Chain A
Amino acid sequence: MREVAILGVAMTRFGISEKTNLEMFTEAGIEAIRKSNLEPKDIQALFFGNCLGAFEEGQLHMAPFAHAELGLPISAPATRFESACATATVAIRHAALLVGAGVYDIAIAGGTERAAKMGTPLATRTFAMASQAQHESSAGITFPGVFAMAAHMYAEKYKVDLPVLKKHMAEVAVKNHYHGARNPKAHFQKEIEVQTVLGSMMVADPLQLFDCCPFSDGAAAVVIAEAGKAKELIAKPVFIAGMGQASCGPLYLQKDITRVRAREEAIRQAYAEAGIGPDDVDVMELHDCFTIAEILAIESFGLYEFGKGYDAASRGETRLGGKVVVNPSGGLKAKGHPIGATGAAQVTEIVEQLRGESGVRQVEGARVGLVDTLGGDLGTVCDIILRS
Chain B
Amino acid sequence: MEYPIPYREYQEKIAQGEFVGMQCRQCGSITFPPMAVCCDCSGSVLTPVSLSGKGRLRTFTVVRVAPEGKKPPYIVAMVELEEGPFVMGNLIDVNPDQTTMALMGKSVRLGSRLVEGDTYSGGDLCSLTFSIVE
Spell out A's residues near B (CB within 8 Å). 120-122, 124-125, 128-129, 133-142, 144-145, 148-150, 152-153, 155-156, 162, 201-207, 249-255, 257
Contact = CB atoms under 8 A, between A and B. Distances in A.
Contacts, number: 117
Nearest to B125: A138
A129 B88 contact: no
Nearest to A206: B61
Contact of A145 (B33, B76, B120, B128): B76
Nearest to B91: A139
B101 A139 contact: no
Interface of B: 7, 33, 39, 58-70, 74, 76-78, 80, 85-90, 99, 101, 104-105, 115, 118, 120-122, 125-128
Contact of A141 (B63, B105, B125): B63
Contacts of B126: 138
B1 to A, nearest CB: 19
Contact of B65 (A124, A149, A250, A254): A124
Contacts of B64: 201-205
Nearest to B71: A140
Given A133-B121, A135-B87, A139-B127, A121 B78 contact: no
Tell which of B76, B88, B121 has the most Cβ of chain A within 10 Å: B88
Contacts of A150: 59
Nearest to A202: B64
Nearest to B79: A252
A205 B67 contact: no
B102 to A, nearest CB: 11
A145 B86 contact: no
Contact of A149 (B61, B74, B87): B61
Tell which of B68, B99, B120 has the most Cβ of chain A within 10 Å: B68
B61 A255 contact: no
A139 B76 CA distance: 7
B88 to A, nearest CB: 5
Nearest to A134: B7
Contacts of A253: 39, 86
B116 to A, nearest CB: 10
19 contacts: A124-B68, A125-B69, A135-B87, A139-B88, A139-B89, A140-B63, A142-B67, A149-B59, A149-B76, A152-B60, A155-B101, A156-B101, A202-B64, A204-B65, A205-B64, A255-B80, A255-B86, A257-B59, A257-B78
B99 A153 contact: no
Contacts of B87: 135, 252
Contact of A152 (B59, B88, B89): B59
A205 B61 contact: yes
B67 A125 contact: yes
Please provide the 10 A-B residue pairs with the shortest distance between their CB atoms, ordered closest to farther. A148-B61, A125-B67, A138-B125, A138-B127, A121-B68, A153-B59, A205-B62, A125-B68, A149-B59, A140-B70
B122 to A, nearest CB: 7
B65 A142 contact: yes
Contacts of A204: 61-65
